[in-house]
Chains A and B, each alone.
Chain A
Amino acid sequence: MALDTADYRRREESITYAAESAGQGETHELLTLNIGPHHPATHGVLRLLATLEGEVVRDIKPIVGYVHTGIEKTAEQKSYWKVIPVVERMDYLSYYFNAMAFCGAVETLLDVEVPPRAQYLRIIHLELNRIMSHLVWLGTSALDLGAISMFWYCFRERETILDLFEMSSGQRMHTRYFQVGGVFEDIPPGFAAKLRTFLAEMPTRADQYADLLEKNQIVLERLRGTCALDEKTLLEIGVTGPLLRAAGNPWDLRKAHPYSSYDHFEFKIPVGTVGDNYDRYRVRHAEIYESVKIISQALDGLPEGPHITPDRKIALPPRHELATSMEALIHHFKLVTEGFRVPEGEAYYPIEGPRGELGCFVRADGSAKPARVHMRDPSFVHLQALEPMVKGAYIADLIATLAMLDPILGGIDR
């Protein structure tokens, strides 16, 4: 493994960040500024190499990999049900979505039917997770713009959601609630009542956020008309989710290609007009209301029935059966030791995450462990859009744009 250090230096020096010729003269000079990786405004361990001319960004190179933990490699060493907790840790603000994408891919390969109640329970938790993710985004983004009080308000509501997660699964984050074939447990008594209180409260809270931000001249001037990017460029880069919708394209997989009974619910897709930072803010803010609507409908129409597939080859038998049924004991033993085997095949399962299309690719080779797990994480793709967005903008707008881009480094580096 020993490597000549001169070789390392040589390779390091080979990295060139081609600067634009503009502004190189006696009065202007290009400055290369390193931002991060440890910087509160980079929303994680993101390093940005910015080339500045005065205060104007001429070029920007994102450098990632600081929190690469090899989760995709780790997943290949674990049986399918043990992969769920590790993929949840990729994008640490949308753990239900990661689990959903992975479980969906495995369910496609197994050809297993998810009971309606489980689908509705999944939607309730997915949409709660979407609100939670947007709240963290709103709080931290406002913080970047200098509005510290938003952070406390957003985290107050987030706390309620985390309490709900704790009620249903026992964990506040990385809940491992979604299982292949359904969900881990039915919601406990009292969950519905607490959720309804939250659903009644959340829209008024979101109104308050709007009042705080949208009547604030500083916020408006920082967001309006800054760093817009048109729909065509966004699509070429592969951008989906709120960023694409802010540019006026109503692409949302929940509507376009409904999964997990999303077609049962009435909700709207908020879209922007010009795709500037203000539109990005407005779209995400409006999505909070739509998520609340979806959750209320799912809670009202929650069907009766099992919360996980009755297929004992995939899902664990209920605890009480173990004492009375030999067969249940054997199934339990097989599932806990080896896990279930998945027939050979490949699946790509895309869902609409809080940041865009979150797709999970799984290749099964017939054993109890996946041969390949890959997450198409929206943050990873969206980071490429940062350069066209901020080129020619002020460095202050770069910070605002990065906040509105909402990258999660855990998802980028995986």
Chain B
Amino acid sequence: MPDATGLELTAHELRDHNAESILGTDFGRGRAVLLAAPDHVTDVLRQLKASGYTFLASLHGIDYYPEEPRLGVLYELLNMHEVDRITVKVRVHTGDPRLRTATELFPGAEFPEREVYDMFGVVFEGHPDLRRILMPEDFEGFPQRRDFPIGGEPVLFTYNEENSYGKYQ
């Protein structure tokens, strides 16, 4: 993890390259976070990849309900030579959450992006195969969002099979 100054320097370098790419930084408790603008996230990732953060350790979604913009996507990057971690965070609104895919830079982002789409409904443009991955194909809604009720899915019995969704005919 870079120190607080190192994080600011990284943010400056990224801003030099693209003035609108970085919205802010957050540093503390062993974590360096760059808050990136949704439109420029691939730019930021490309720059960081070129500067040594070549390994995408994790990509996951998060719902900041009730804060706005509600949805967040986190890219945990790792520099294997310096053993250094940095996090890129993007916040998007629930209305039409769209981000550019990171699969062109990190092919391993394919499954994690599908999972974020599946669980939070964030659409990754340019993703080679954006389908649900863990939930069934015919599932409606995005279960990891905070306003999705737990136990909200009816159990299929004989008496309610007529009204159940995804019923095979």
Of the candidates B106, B110, B150, B166, the one whose C-beta lies within 8 Å of that of A8 is B166
A345–B137 touching, CB < 8 Å: no
Mark the stretch among B13-21, B26-34, B36-44, B93-101 that contacts chain A.
B26-34
B58–A359 touching, CB < 8 Å: yes
A72–B133 touching, CB < 8 Å: no
Tell me which residues across on chain B come within 8 A of A413, comparing CB atoms. Answer: 134
CB distance from A387 to the nearest CB of B (A): 10
Asked if A376 is an interface residue, CB under 8 A from chain B, the answer is yes
B134–A73 touching, CB < 8 Å: no
A-B contact count (CB 8 A): 116
**Beyond A8-B137, A257-B83, is A361–B60 a contact (Cβ under 8 Å)?**
yes
- Considering the chains assembled together, what is the distance between the CA atoms of A287 and B26 in angstroms? 38
Tell me which residues across on chain B come within 8 A of A173, comparing CB atoms. Answer: none
Tell me which residues across on chain A come within 8 A of B136, comparing CB atoms. Answer: 65
Tell me which residues across on chain B come within 8 A of A148, comparing CB atoms. Answer: none
Tell me which residues across on chain B come within 8 A of A70, comparing CB atoms. Answer: 143, 150
B148 (CB) vs chain A CBs: closest residue: A73
CB distance from B148 to the nearest CB of A (A): 8
How many A residues face the partner with a CB closer than 8 A?
A: 47
Mark the stretch among A157-165, A230-238, A295-303 that contacts chain B.
A230-238
Asked if B74 is an interface residue, CB under 8 A from chain A, the answer is yes
**Beyond A3-B138, A74-B150, A381-B108, is A235–B54 a contact (Cβ under 8 Å)?**
yes
A361–B58 touching, CB < 8 Å: yes
**Beyond A12-B137, A236-B107, A376-B60, is A5–B166 a contact (Cβ under 8 Å)?**
yes
A384–B31 touching, CB < 8 Å: no
CB distance from A258 to the nearest CB of B (A): 10
List A338-361 residues whose CB lies under 8 Å from chain B. Answer: 345-348, 350, 357, 359, 361
Of the candidates B31, B54, B150, B166, the one whose C-beta lies within 8 Å of that of A346 is B31
Asked if B62 is an interface residue, CB under 8 A from chain A, the answer is yes
Asked if A28 is an interface residue, CB under 8 A from chain B, the answer is no
Interface, chain A (partner B; CB < 8 A): 1-3, 5, 8, 11-12, 15, 64-65, 68, 70, 72-74, 76-77, 108-109, 111, 235-239, 251, 256-257, 345-348, 350, 357, 359, 361, 363, 371-372, 374, 376, 380-381, 383-384, 413-414
With A65-B134, A108-B30, A348-B31 known, 11 other A-B pairs at CB within 8 A are A5-B168, A15-B137, A65-B136, A237-B108, A238-B108, A256-B80, A350-B57, A357-B57, A361-B62, A361-B74, A376-B57
Among all A-B residue pairs, the 6 with the closest Cβ atoms? A238-B108, A376-B58, A3-B165, A237-B108, A65-B134, A68-B134
